[in-house]
Amino acid sequence: MTAVLETHGLGKRYRRRWALSDCTLEIPAGHVVGLVGPNGAGKSTLLNLAGGLLAPTAGTIEVCGGRPATGPAQLAKVGFVAQETPLYGGLSVADHLRLGARLNPRWDDAVARDRIRRLGLDPKQRAGRLSGGQRAQLALTLGLAKRPELLILDEPVAALDPLARREFLQDLMAAVAEHGLSVLLSSHLISDLERACDHLVVLVDSRLRLSGAIDTLLATHHLLTGPRRDPATLPADQEVVTASHTDRQSTLLVRTASPIHDPAWSVARLGLEDLVLAYLRGPADEPRRRKLEVLR
Ligand SMILES: Nc1ncnc2c1ncn2[C@@H]1O[C@H](COP(=O)(O)OP(=O)(O)OP(=O)(O)O)[C@@H](O)[C@H]1O
């Protein structure tokens, strides 16, 4: 597997607080990877580290085989659209495309012009006069036309209307299929991630909670419902992600690569949204011990 992003023990600290801690992660090339987590979980921090806008406090990070933002060749490989879609307010849409062409060796002018035309943006309009969604669209167009190996997008679709969101995600998937682009994007909109992504990374409380191919994650998580039971009595290969109990019944979300044979359980699969929400809600460490406390 070729990795477009590889981190080992990666951490970023602001004064006493770790915004990202002990993150070891490998993201394969040629995929659209969704990054999710609650507000303040460390998503932008991870993306900014990958884009070379921040330097790590601990650990290492490699993007497309090199350290982020170290020289022009490395910069050309990575496109980054930050959350606040930085543009030059005094420059027109056309000026931004000209600048993009001058600064980026692999610039695809046809893609840029075609998107601007489809979006109905006036090339003469100054970026400072565009709406929030139009500015986001211009920034995303610059990111796609740069033809990077890895495109990093921090909440790219947040400002777009539903139709524009869907069309943008389709453009992204087409670029992945046609040009082997890899994409890492953060979003709170799980339905969008479900549509566009085939890999998932979940951060909670500055820590990596889950990562992997979405198909595999969905196939290895099971919702078990049955007579009340201490989660500590489950087979060792069944990791309890969350557990809730009534007087008579237990409902457990477990992760395991093996089939569930115990006839006491009724077993159901989860959709992506329920899986993500379980990890956002679930305890970050020692789930078995904590759940035992609940049972007492
Ligand atoms: N420049 C900074 N100085 C101090 N603390 C910071 C700074 N930037 C981020 N943080 C803190 O680091 C933590 C992670 O922030 P980050 O922006 O990475 O979260 P996020 O997951 O992207 O959140 P959101 O979903 O709200 O965009 C937060 O607690 C935030 O307050």
CATH number, domain at 124?
Answer: 3.40.50.300
User: Given ligand 1 and candidates 45, 83, 152, which is best to mutate, with the most ligand atoms within 8 Å of its CB?
Assistant: 45
Cα(18) to ligand 1 centroid in Å equals: 10
Domain boundary among 215, 230, 245: 215
The 10 Å CB-count burial string (b at 16+, else e) for 229-265 is bebeebeeebebbbbebeeeebbbbbbbeeeeeeeeb
pLDDT of 287 reads 45
Number of domains the chain contains: 2
pLDDT of 109 reads 95
- Closest by CA position to 183, among listed 195, 266, 191: 195
Measured from the CA of 155, which atom of ligand 1 is nearest?
Answer: 27
pLDDT < 70 stretches in the chain: 1, 282-296
Query: Which structural domain, as residue segments, surrounds residue 243?
Result: 220-295
- Closest by CA position to 224, among listed 172, 177, 259: 259
Pocket of ligand 1 (CB under 6 A): 14, 19, 37, 39-45
Domain boundary among 198, 215, 232: 215
Residues 115 and 224 in one domain: no
Residues 141 and 239 in one domain: no
The 10 Å CB-count burial string (b at 16+, else e) for 24-58 is ebebeebbbbbbbbeeebbbbbbbbbbbbebebee
What is the model's pTM?
A: 0.90
Residues 175 and 286 in one domain: no
Q: Find where tokens 């099971």 sit.
A: 222
Specify the residue with its C-alpha closest to ligand 1, atom 16: 42
pLDDT of 161 reads 87
- 134 exposure class (CB count in 10 Å sphere: 0-12, 13-18, 19+): buried
Cα(136) to ligand 1 centroid in Å equals: 21
Residues 25 and 111 in one domain: yes
Residues 172 and 233 in one domain: no
Residues 277 and 170 in one domain: no
pLDDT of 1 reads 62
Domain boundary among 180, 215, 250: 215
pLDDT of 71 reads 87
User: DSSP class of residue 41?
Assistant: S
Cα(258) to ligand 1 centroid in Å equals: 38
